[in-house]
Chains A and B, each alone.
Chain A
């Protein structure tokens, strides 16, 4: 019995406490990130954005939350009820599940598993199910068209994301996410006499992959300019047309959680995770989690800016970009990176 308490009960309680802490902090952050998205968008268009609820509109997201929760959920009579309600749950669960393997600081990770990168790839590729199920279960034309688009779009861009990951992992030599970050302590900067600086991070030598990953992440999370899944000028509101109140809010929450997850992935793969940009005094005083959060917010700022000033792609252009531009470039980069590592003897 003692073995049960020490072996299962205490670690289990600690694990649940950690997960709850991450979950709560994440949800609160997402509330403000959602507001930031709207504010940035508004600023680009020279509007004020939400500015009524709380100082500078800071509490807008919480007001929206209350509004959604107290509304009556409407389920269309022809809808497939079970799947209709399951779809937003799937979206939000998967988007939050990915955070289990994200290291916020050295050792600050819930599950430090060996195949962390593959886990993230798997979780992000499952995100499409929420959309497909929601679109199909709505039993309505536009949501259905939207879910067909989603299936094709997300499967296409996963391919280039996969090859970008291969390129990065060739330089790392491990699938563990903490190892990916730690491998960015030495690199180009160390060779030119700035050890531990931001020049060591992967985005410098793998710059083309960084750009491809960023754009593919936009497509994978259905952000503008690739938001063909909910193109309002063609499909009403896409797969969410029939949704309202809490189920709609869960779709929205899942969408932003997966956007933040993609930003965290960009941070970890290319921007050195929790590592400070310079390895000397004032920068090393700042805790790693602050650097992680700052880099994540920088990525999100780029996501938000792209939404504000890039027009939506046409569907065939989207497919062309994925299959005819990104796939050959990322495939070629894998070959080039592997060759350089092998010839120069840098392979880990």
Chain B
């Protein structure tokens, strides 16, 4: 138990410290790297909670894919640090407002059952015994059996967003020559082989 507690404090301390560094690092690439460190330590906290499936998912999805794209974009930006500093005071009130809204929402969410007593039923719904069922199976049962409708709807929303993004950005330029792999693979020798006599050309 001592080691467990020690690791909890280690992971949470690093998560908080790197979270702080995300917003205070001067170089945006460093910020993203600290964000990755924060994700990683959050995954460590999940492991300590016994939610190893969520921990791995956090690493695969956020660290392995989302943060790579973040880094990809941030590295390509040409950031002028002096200019970045100048706008700080101007944007401070807006940032503070967003922070206050988020904090309020968190508080409301956490104390939800005082506003909505019927939410207690969800909060106290029986948690399966971890000795009987692994948490991968438990999450699968919850997502694909109990909440399949919401899961499918969420999938549809994402699909619509994806198609929307493609429709907005796809431009077909008429005069661009494209490689058609099927044509290349299915070509016959008749089309492309010529017996050329020297000095005469095709």
Residues of A within 8 A of B (CB): 4, 8, 80, 83, 113-115, 118-119, 121-122, 125-126, 128-129, 132-133, 136, 144, 147-148, 151-152, 154-155, 158, 162, 175, 316, 320
Contacts and interface: CB of A to CB of B under 8 A. Distances in A.
Contact of A126 (B52, B55, B63): B63
5 contacts: A114-B53, A118-B56, A118-B57, A148-B72, A175-B53
Contacts of B3: 8
Contacts of B72: 132, 148, 151-152
A149 B14 CA distance: 31
B20 to A, nearest CB: 18
B71 A151 contact: yes
Given A119-B56, A126-B59, A158 B64 contact: yes
B27 to A, nearest CB: 8
A210 to B, nearest CB: 22
A115 B68 contact: no
The interface residues of chain B, by DSSP majority, are classed as: helix
Contacts of B52: 113-115
B21 interface: no
B64 A122 contact: yes
Interface string B29-59: 1100100100000000000000011011101
Contact of B60 (A114, A125, A154): A125
Interface of B: 2-3, 27, 29-30, 33, 36, 52-53, 55-57, 59-60, 63-65, 68-69, 71-72, 75-76, 134, 136, 179, 181
Given A125-B64, A126-B63, A155-B65, A114 B33 contact: no
A144 B75 contact: yes
A133 B134 CA distance: 36
Contacts of B33: 83, 133
Contacts of A8: 2-3
B64 A132 contact: no
A283 B181 CA distance: 46
Contacts of A126: 59, 63-64
A42 to B, nearest CB: 33
A147 B63 CA distance: 16
A155 B68 contact: yes
A95 to B, nearest CB: 15
A329 to B, nearest CB: 15
Given A125-B59, A126-B64, A155-B64, 20 more contacts: A4-B2, A80-B27, A83-B33, A114-B136, A115-B52, A121-B64, A122-B56, A122-B60, A125-B65, A126-B59, A132-B68, A136-B29, A147-B75, A151-B68, A151-B71, A155-B65, A155-B68, A162-B60, A175-B134, A175-B136
A62 to B, nearest CB: 34
A118 B43 CA distance: 13
A164 to B, nearest CB: 14
B69 A132 contact: no
Most buried by A among B27, B68, B69: B68
